[in-house]
Structure 1
Amino acid sequence: MKTRLLYQEDSYLREFNATVLELSGNEVVLDQTAFHDGTGGVQADTGVLYYGGESYAATAVHKGGEVVHVLDRSPSFKPGEAVRGVVDWDKRYRKMRLHTAAHILSAVLYRRHNALITGGDITPEYARDDFNVEGDMATVKRIFEEAVAEANEIARRGIEVKVYWLPREEALKIPGVVKLAEKMPPEVPRLRIVEIPGVDIQADGGPHVRNTSEIGTIKILKVENRGRGKKRIYYTVE
């Protein structure tokens, strides 16, 4: 990847300066960005790119192994020129709160029921996760309710969220570092680790809050049976 992922270094970075590396129509690749590109089940960031007196609405996408900024129109700038990016912070911060909440919830379900995530999506409004838990819907609802209650208790403790990098082989030796049922981390020499001490540790490339107290209260919206090994929970944070 040509682009330096600034959000992996500081998830709270709202504005940044960058140099245009590639331009094709309204698609732009920068040398660095604070826009998350939607990988890992977290909805991609939106925002604005500024050049001179012009502004362009931008949405990040992952395309061809790169972070591509898709603009609302073809820009007047060219490769080699400097732009300023601003992330839509309100949406980003909601996703950060939900993302960290998702890690706590998955850790609780993994410890209680050995449950793995079989699918998921995080938007600014809500998150949904599928888990390979079994049982009738009354049992599944109880499992999720108990897990969310424990996750809320953990969030209220105000635990610092740690982010660091480990060699891939070393990281994959950590029990539970991957909680996705059918997906391994990318084949890269170092993995980014997100750890909530005493609660969870996962290989993860997305933005998170610094402290679990920022999550607020996790609230279940609904629970669905999506088939064998796929019980879905929708939730938000307040």
Structure 2
Amino acid sequence: MTTTKLYLESIDAGYYQNFHAKIIGVSETSVVLDRTLFYPLGGGQHWDTGTLNGPNGPLSVTEVRGRGDVEHTVQEGHQLSIGDEVQGSIDWDLRYARMRMHTAQHLVSGLVYEMFDGARTVGNQLHADRSRIDFNPISFDEPMLESMTNAVNQTIDKGLEVTDSIMTREQINSMMPPERTNMDLLPASVTDLRVVSIGNQIDMCP
């Protein structure tokens, strides 16, 4: 049994702050839940923090890792057991800051691709207050940075709607070239993908 990632169910689900879950795995310092709102480490972004409130009171969640079974690190001696029910709450200020930063990264990546001859995003590191995006093949001079900054700000000012949908690899490949989607980074076993659109533009991060 793997952990259901509640935040992936819809765009609105990304704004949920509280949830209930059942413990399906335990170790001395962590628990695995059947469902979670906590985002684990991945995609250049750090994990959510928050609390789990169980039979013995609240516990701080200090680290979250895993793709299938998502492990939530809590204090040693937590006394939680398989089958216990818990109420989870995420640190909303931290989550919301990272959500905005992640969306901004996709906006920047999409505009850089369009403005600078298909420059590809090959890596990133996202934080609540700053981020790094790696592009190839390109290096920026001051006029290029100014042009990109203006384009990003103008797009933000439009207040475009952010939506999500599920698409197959074939659908995505028919809409965009592979170097635009980074589809080559995904194993062939992945056939359906969640796609987030900003206005009528999409940017992929496998």
Same fold (TM over 0.5): yes
Contact kept, 8 Å, 1:36 with 1:45, in 2: the verdict is: yes
Q: Which amino acid aligns with 2:133?
A: D
Q: Does 1:20 align with 2:27?
A: no
Aligned-partner Cα distance in 2 for 1:147–1:48: 39
1:40 alignment partner, SS class = coil
Distance 1:51 1:22, change over 3 A: same
Q: Unpaired runs of 5+ in structure 1?
A: 206-238
Specify which structure has the bigger relative contact order, considering alpha-carbon pairs within 8 angstroms and separated by 6 or more residues. Answer: 1
Counterpart of 1:129 (choices 130, 133, 143) is 133
Identity between Structure 1 and Structure 2 (%): 31
Match for residue 157 of structure 1? Answer: 158
Higher strand share: 1
Deviates most, 74-83 or 85-94: 74-83
Distance 1:64 1:8, change over 3 A: closer
Distance 1:104 1:177, change over 3 A: farther
Match for residue 197 of structure 1? Answer: 199
Counterpart of 1:119 (choices 96, 119, 123) is 123
Instruction: Give the structure-2-normalised TM-score.
Output: 0.87
Match for residue 108 of structure 1? Answer: 111
1:61 alignment partner, SS class = strand
Contact kept, 8 Å, 1:35 with 1:60, in 2: the verdict is: no
Match for residue 90 of structure 1? Answer: 93
Aligned-partner Cα distance in 1 for 2:174–2:162: 21
RMSD: 2.3
Aligned-partner Cα distance in 2 for 1:77–1:178: 46
- Please state how far the C-alpha of 1:65 moved relative to its aligned partner: 4.0
Aligned-partner Cα distance in 2 for 1:191–1:64: 15
Match for residue 208 of structure 1? Answer: none
Aligned-partner Cα distance in 2 for 1:104–1:37: 22
Instruction: Give the structure-1-normalised TM-score.
Output: 0.76
Contact kept, 8 Å, 1:177 with 1:203, in 2: the verdict is: no
- Please state how far the C-alpha of 1:64 moved relative to its aligned partner: 6.5
Q: Which amino acid aligns with 1:168?
A: R
Higher helix share: 2
Match for residue 209 of structure 1? Answer: none
Contact kept, 8 Å, 2:4 with 2:35, in 1: the verdict is: yes
